[in-house]
Structure 1
Amino acid sequence: MNFASPFSISVVAITVLAFLGLPIGHSMIAGSILYLLLAGLDMGTAAEQLLNGMYNNYIILAVPLFILAAELMNIGSMTERLLRFCDAVVGRFRGGLAYVNVVQSIIFAGMSGSAIADAAGTGKMMQMMMTKDGKYTPSYAAALTAVTSVIGPIIPPSIPMVIYALVSDASIGYLFLGGVIPGLLMAAAQMGIVAYQAQRNNFPVETPTPLRELPGITWRAFPSLMMPVVLLGGIYTGATTPTEAAAVAAAYALVISVVLYRSVSFADFYQSVLASARTSASIGMLIAGALVFNYVVTVENIPESIKAILISWDLSPIGFLILVNSLLLLLGCVLEGTTILLVIVPVLIPTARALGIDMVHFGVMVVVNIMLGLVTPPYGLLLFIMTRIAEVPLRDIVRDVLPFLWAMIASLVLITFLPGLVLWLPRLLGYQG
């Protein structure tokens, strides 16, 4: 590799700017423009790639709409009603609130599509519920909330899967279907750890909700529980595209919170729109930077070069998947997930295709890897979020996260080596891959 080449200088510039604190999206745009300048190419190409990439991809619009839907859920009473429903169903067992934490993440997974939105939305409430009267340590409650939040983007809908579809041209609908069983498998692994710890540590047993109250609790939560049905039903019946379904989800959350539950003021709505806009803008800038940098990568023929190198190693499909898992788990410790999806994964896709690896299976495996990165030290964005919410040292949360992390890595191994876990449901509904 020529370290004085325009591409090498561009990569160094992006790395230095990012370490100096410039957002990674801005860093990629600046580094890409520097490459165009040094390579003697038209610098206007950066703007062309950015505009074409952002405006020609209707799918990108789903990202801010899913974010808005999550914000609208959190400002209303939908969250409280769903948590009450989860507590009524599983709260009666030893370690009941820990089970509630897992179950509520499964339900919220069908609504927001974002791990961070799930953690921020229910994190404070679950933290308060679990630590009240000293039932659970603050670090354990925070660790459990962090690991259960990663289920959100695996079970549909999923913002990371939307972004993967953008770079791979895989079907969003089949990607969503492919995430259902892996997401439930990871939830089962988490429940297994909770069950073991509940018996070993003698977790408290909550006061059981009388069965006669269960129908009323279910009825009050029913409109909220119907949101995944409305969202996914629109996609799989063909009534809506995934982007249109995201808009329907946001509208449904608004109507339920404002009209039915009457729990949202205009000021609350305004603040949720502002928060959604800020989050969407940061993701949009990251996508824009990646689109420009990916043009540079394409000009340098990096994907084909890496494809040739990997093929020369004579890797089997399984060997390649093991390599990708190892690489993504390591990168997930230090890089933000969207950056990995937009910069690293496109380089790996040509090799995956050449080896005959199914793009839906590969996509779900990649997303699971990236979600594990959110709770993997030392970076682990969800760990930092829960550190702020719980106000406990990071080392304490990491200690309590590790058993769950190992269980989820075991689930990842099954997902990698048993493609049927991912592809069974899509094939049942017509996928030909």
Structure 2
Amino acid sequence: MSSISPFSASLVLITVLALVGMPIGLSMMVGSILYLWMAGLDLGTVAEQFLNGMYSNYVILAVPLFVLAAEFMNIGSMTERLLSFCNLIVGRFRGGLALVNVVQSIIFAGMSGSAIADAAGTGGLMHAMMTKNGRYPSSFAAALTAVTSVIGPIIPPSIPMVIYALVSDASIGYLFLAGMLPGLLMASLQALQIFITASRRNFPVEEAVALREVPKITWQALPALMMPVILLGCIYSGITTPTEAAAIAAGYALLVSTVIYRSISPARFYEALSKSAKTTTTIGMLIAGSLVFNYVVTLENIPDKLRLVMMGWDLGPIGFLIFVNVVLLLFGCVLEGTAILLIIVPVFIPTAQALGIDLVHFGVVVVVNIMLGLVTPPYGLLLFIVAKISGAPMRAIVRDATPFILWMIVSLVIITFVPDLVLWLPRLLGYQG
């Protein structure tokens, strides 16, 4: 009987360790060490790949900085002031508070770049506002918070796009631009579903904001509203790199929350630093493990082997994109998004390049797929977050989220097969792809 190959043994060990609860980043490191040992290679390569990957990729620094910016916004009063401004815009329509949920996600998308930060930061407040006096069912409020939060990493800035740029060498600036219209498309379809549901279920109309209150509310929200303008302006004017812009975002969020809004105490400041450090450590371990495992994948020549297999299938660009969408949607149901970006996606990139698929377009398709995974059972991390916040039954949340998920799939189909929608804005600003 033939012995198991080093790569197969590595995959089995990673799977077993992950199933028994070991963090996937550590599981990949242990599995990679087993591969190198069985293959008779230098075990010190693990440390070499880890150090080279973590310290030679300047773009990785953007991740903890965007996380920190989101934490500073969440502990300050920026959230409440932005929600008041959103209510000023759309609160007067039927289902107005539900529409506020969509609009605030669009605005927060230009600040944090994280769906989890959006849901955790505004989720509790939005849920309390929507369910007050029984205006909206708890499960609907929770489901809406989950599905609108996925807009965050599609409209720039975006932590998943930063990680995709790390594994694909695509331009972060053009990836950010490419996410603008797809994110707005997804938000528009969510708003359409809200109008349909609000009419069918007779959701309330909020009391219109008095005209005399408009200048005050706008003025109070203005410092927070300027954050995405400053952030994206710095990136696209060429003043800063995306990583430097992330540092500016964190500094600006701290400045506004402490000096202008005066809402951060020393204890809350420490809490923000602690939470962002824990989140960054989790992401960092995952990146480190994937860098080592991707070295193993490269040694085994998996990307080229997969490319040759797919060429043999004669899929073509359209068939390949359909295949990738199906695979990523399935993996999204059981794996965390960052793990998919770092483990699964790099295997597809050589084939996408060989088929002439633009890597910026491909990156947006990948990120939208991963965002869908955050709201699809059984894993659906955002579903667990909003269930914890709301206390609503998971079954009811999934039921109310399903129409929105279907619209998100429609968005994905459009984004996949109409690349000009994705690439129009980058090309307008000089992209040659």
The bucket for the TM-score relative to the shorter chain is: over 0.9
- Distance in 2 (alpha carbons) for counterparts of 1:425 and 1:237: 15
- Distance in 1 (alpha carbons) for counterparts of 2:3 and 2:18: 19
Q: Partner of 1:226: helix, strand, or coil?
A: helix
User: Does residue 221 of the first structure (1) align with residue 221 of the second (2)?
Assistant: yes
Report the CA distance between 1:215 and its aligned residue: 1.7
- Which residue pairs with 1:188 in the alignment? 188
Q: Partner of 2:92: helix, strand, or coil?
A: coil
- Which residue pairs with 1:273 in the alignment? 273
Question: Identity over aligned residues, as a percent?
Answer: 72
The 5-angstrom pairing of residues 292-311 of structure 1 reads 292-311=292-311
Give CA deviations for 1:69-95 in whole Å, capped at 9, x if unaligned.
000000101000000000111001100
- Distance in 2 (alpha carbons) for counterparts of 1:379 and 1:268: 31
The amino acid across from 1:114 in the alignment is S
- Which residue pairs with 2:374 in the alignment? 374
Unaligned runs of 5+ in 1: none
- Distance in 2 (alpha carbons) for counterparts of 1:296 and 1:411: 35
- Distance in 1 (alpha carbons) for counterparts of 2:231 and 2:217: 23
Report the CA distance between 1:210 and its aligned residue: 1.4
User: Does residue 358 of the first structure (1) align with residue 348 of the second (2)?
Assistant: no
Report the CA distance between 1:395 and its aligned residue: 0.8
- Distance in 2 (alpha carbons) for counterparts of 1:263 and 1:388: 26
Runs of 4+ in 1 over 4 A off after TM superposition: none
> Structure 1 residues 169 and 209 mapped into 2: Cα distance closer, same or farther (>3 Å)?
same
User: Does residue 337 of the first structure (1) align with residue 337 of the second (2)?
Assistant: yes
- Which residue pairs with 1:107 in the alignment? 107
- Distance in 2 (alpha carbons) for counterparts of 1:261 and 1:186: 32
The 5-angstrom pairing of residues 277-426 of structure 1 reads 277-426=277-426
- Which residue pairs with 2:15 in the alignment? 15
TM superposition score normalised by structure 1: 0.99
- Distance in 1 (alpha carbons) for counterparts of 2:99 and 2:211: 18
**Root-mean-square deviation over aligned CA pairs:** 0.7
User: Does residue 153 of the first structure (1) align with residue 153 of the second (2)?
Assistant: yes
Report the CA distance between 1:213 and its aligned residue: 1.4
- Which residue pairs with 2:98 in the alignment? 98
- Distance in 1 (alpha carbons) for counterparts of 2:215 and 2:416: 40
Give CA deviations for 1:53-78 in whole Å, capped at 9, x if unaligned.
00000000000000000000001010
TM superposition score normalised by structure 2: 0.99
Report the CA distance between 1:212 and its aligned residue: 2.5
Q: Partner of 1:334: helix, strand, or coil?
A: coil
Contact 1:18 1:27 in 2 (8 A): yes
- Distance in 1 (alpha carbons) for counterparts of 2:54 and 2:414: 36
- Distance in 1 (alpha carbons) for counterparts of 2:15 and 2:395: 27
> Structure 1 residues 140 and 3 mapped into 2: Cα distance closer, same or farther (>3 Å)?
farther
The 5-angstrom pairing of residues 110-259 of structure 1 reads 110-259=110-259
Unaligned runs of 5+ in 2: none
Contact 1:160 1:367 in 2 (8 A): yes
Give CA deviations for 1:171-199 in whole Å, capped at 9, x if unaligned.
00000000000000000010010000010
- Distance in 1 (alpha carbons) for counterparts of 2:392 and 2:200: 23
Report the CA distance between 1:238 and its aligned residue: 0.3
> Structure 1 residues 130 and 50 mapped into 2: Cα distance closer, same or farther (>3 Å)?
same
The amino acid across from 1:121 in the alignment is G
Contact 1:3 1:9 in 2 (8 A): no
Report the CA distance between 1:28 and its aligned residue: 0.3
Report the CA distance between 1:3 and its aligned residue: 7.4
